[in-house]
Chains A and B, each alone.
Chain A
C-alpha cells in the first residue's frame, strides 16, 4: 500500500568538501520507511549511516551538501486523521533553517543520538540562533529542555508543558518523574539520560523517530532496557523508527526491515528475516559470518572479511566491495558499478551476481540458477539453520 509510506529516499547523494578534495559520503542511497515500522540501517564506520540520518534532518555540517536525490516525507494531515490524506514534503528543497524544516525537525521527526550527555541538545530550539544548533548548557534542567520542545512545537503554556514533561518521563520509565523533571543531566545515569532523550523526541508525537546508535554507549543490560522501551513506545505511539547501528544483534531484535550500507551505498535491503536467513550480497553474508554468536561462539576461527574499509579517497572502481569480496569476478566487478536490483520477495541487492544482463554478457550463471542446480546454499546453512 503506497499509503503506508512515511519516508522515501531516492538516489540521495551527499558530498563533503574537505581540504583533500570531495568526500562522496553518500553515493545514491535508496530506501523507504513504512509508517509505524522500524527500518534498521547497519554498516561499519564510514558507511554513511549517520550522514543519511543527518541529511534527512537537514543537519549536515556546513561543508556538506545534498548534491542529488529526493527525501520525500509523507506528512500526516492532523485535522483529518480518518482519511489517509497526506501531504508530501520534499525535504531536500526546504531551507535547513526555514520554518517548515524547523517544524518537522523535532516535531514530526524526532531524533536521538549515541551519547546522551553531549546530545541532550534540543536542536529544534535552533530558531534562536539561525544556522547553529544550540548546544545544551550543562546547567539546564531536564524539564526546561522538554518544555522548550513542547512550547516550540505545540505552542502551549509553560505549566501545561511541565505537566506533559512529567507524563512523558513517566512513560519512559524514569523513577519519580515529578522530581526527576527538575534534575540536571549530570545528575542522571547514562541510561536515564537516554530515557530523557527519548521523552524529548517523543513529546511532540513524531511519526518518525531517528535513532542513531542510541545504545552503543550503554551497558548491555541498560541497552536491553532502552530497546525494550523503544519497542513498547512504538506500540503505544505508532511512530516509525529508523534505527542506525553497527550491532547485528540489535538490528535483529529491533528492525522489521534492514538496509545494509557500505561506503555510502545501500548494498542490500529486505526484511530482517530475509537479511539474516537469506542474505544475498557477499558483504552481508561476510558480515554475518564474522561476528561471534553468543551461545555457540566457543572456539574455532571467525570468518573475517579480508582487508579493511578503504578511506573516502580511495574507493575502488566498479563495485566498492570487490577487493574484499570472496565472489570477485575479475574484469566485471572492478569495471561495472552495480545498482540495487530486486532479487525476489521485495529483497534488493547491489551485486553484479544478480544482474542477469551483466552475467549473461559475461557468459556466467547467476547464483539463483547455480543454487537451483546444486542446491548448495552454503551461507544459509551456516548461519540460518543452527539459529
Chain B
C-alpha cells in the first residue's frame, strides 16, 4: 500500500498498528504474556468517505480505532494523518500521529472527533446542552461568548434540535436526542475526521434510521470523513463506502462495501455475512457452517487465526499467517487462497 500513501486523497493511513495489553499474574504482578488486541493492522481512509470497521465482540475493532487516533498509546506502528493545524500557515501536512508531541497532538485533536455508543454515559449529567457543546471550544480556547452561542444554536439546528434545548440537561432527552447532542458536540470544533463507535446500536429501530440519515446529511454538509465502528453488518453496509473486517486483532479483509458483501474474499467474511438473519421469510440466509468460538486473543492459534474454524483450511494455514495483501486493485484480503476460493456473499 506504499504507493497509496502518497496520494493526497488519503486522510488517514494506519500502518502496522499494534496494541498489546500485558497480562499480569502472581503476587509481584509479573507480566506473563500479552493480549494482542491489535496485531499488525493496516488500513486507510480517503477524504470524505466512510470506512466501516466490523467484527465480533473482542475482535479489537474499538481498540484499533482508538489506538489509531492515539486515545490509547500504540505498541508499534505508524498513523499518518493530513492535518491543517500543525503548520503556522494552515497548509496541509502529513504527520505521524504516534510521534507528535503533546502540544502538537492537542492541536490535531481539533480535527478528530468522536461519537460514542452510549449517549447516556457519554454526556455529563450536570452540564446543560449548551455547556456540553461549548466545552470542547473552551478547552481549545475558542469560546467567543455570544458568537459561540450563535454557533451552538446553529449546531443544534444542524442535528435536528432547537435553540430552546440549550438550557436543558441530558436526562430531559430521549436516547435518540441524546445521541444528537453527542453529535453536535463532536461537530463543535469543525473536525475533518470523526470516529463513530457503535453510534446507533443503543437506539431503537425507528430512531436508528433517523440517526443514520442525519449522519449522512452531516457528512455531506460538513465535508466529514467517518471511521464507523459497528457490529451490525446491515447498518455498516448502508453507511460505508468501504468496509474492513477484523478477526482476533487482525484485519482479514477490506474492500468497497458492494464488493465485500456480494463477493467476499475471506472465508471469515463469508461466514459472518451468512450468519446475519435476513428480514425476509421467503429467502432465509444460507448459513455457512461456523463451528466453535472466537479464540482467546491471549492464546491465539498458530498460522491463520481463523484456520481451526475455516472449512477451506489447508496445511499452510496452520503454519503461515497470511498478511493483508492487495488481491485486486483496492481489494485487500488476508487469505492464502483468496484468488482461488469462490465464496458466497449476500444480496
Contact = CB atoms under 8 A, between A and B. Distances in A.
Taking residues whose C-beta sits less than 8 angstroms from the other chain, chain B's interface range is: 35 or more
Interface of A: 44-45, 189, 191, 219-225, 227-228, 246-253, 255, 272-273, 276-277, 286-288, 290-299, 301-306, 308-309, 387
A298 B275 contact: no
B271 interface: yes
A220 B276 contact: yes
Interface stretch (B13-21, B79-87, B208-216, B221-229): B208-216
Interface stretch (B122-130, B182-190, B282-290): B282-290
Given A286-B206, A302-B238, 12 more contacts: A189-B293, A191-B293, A221-B275, A249-B277, A252-B284, A253-B281, A287-B206, A290-B205, A291-B205, A294-B347, A295-B237, A295-B345
B293 A253 contact: no
Contact of B279 (A219, A228, A293, A304): A293
A179 to B, nearest CB: 16
Contact of B287 (A228, A306, A308, A387): A228
B56 A220 contact: yes
A272 B210 CA distance: 26
Contacts of B273: 294
A189 B292 CA distance: 11
A291 B261 CA distance: 17
A306 B213 CA distance: 12
Contacts of A306: 210
Interface in B162-209: 174, 176-177, 204-209
A118 B292 CA distance: 23
A387 B233 contact: no
A2 B55 CA distance: 47
Contacts of B177: 308
Contacts of B206: 44, 286-287, 290, 304-305, 308-309
Given A220-B231, A292-B237, A297-B234, A304 B213 contact: yes
Residue of A223, A255, A293 contacting most chain B CB atoms (<10 Å): A293
A242 to B, nearest CB: 18
Contact of A221 (B56, B212, B258, B281): B56
Contacts of A286: 206
A294 B205 contact: no
B238 A273 contact: no
**Among A221, A248, A253, A287, which residue has the most Cβ atoms of chain B within 10 A?**
A221
Given A250-B277, A276-B280, A294 B233 contact: yes
6 contacts: A191-B293, A220-B233, A255-B281, A293-B279, A294-B276, A294-B278
Interface of B: 56-57, 174, 176-177, 204-210, 212-213, 216, 231, 233-235, 237-238, 257-258, 261-262, 271-285, 287, 290, 293-294, 345-347
A225 B292 CA distance: 10
A30 B287 CA distance: 35
Contacts of A225: 290
Contacts of A299: 238
A304 B210 CA distance: 5
A78 B337 CA distance: 56
Contacts of B210: 304-306
Contacts of B294: 219
A305 B209 contact: yes
Nearest to A290: B209
Considering the complex of A and B, which 3 residue pairs feature the smallest CB-CB distances, nearest first? A295-B347, A249-B277, A292-B238
Contact of A252 (B209, B274, B279, B287): B279
Nearest to A273: B281
A191 B292 CA distance: 10
- Central interface residue in B174, B206, B285, by most chain A CB within 10 Å: B206
A249 B276 contact: yes
B238 A297 contact: yes
Contact of B275 (A223, A251, A291, A293): A223
B237 A294 contact: yes
Given A252-B277, A302-B238, A219 B57 contact: yes
Contacts of B278: 249, 252-253, 293-295
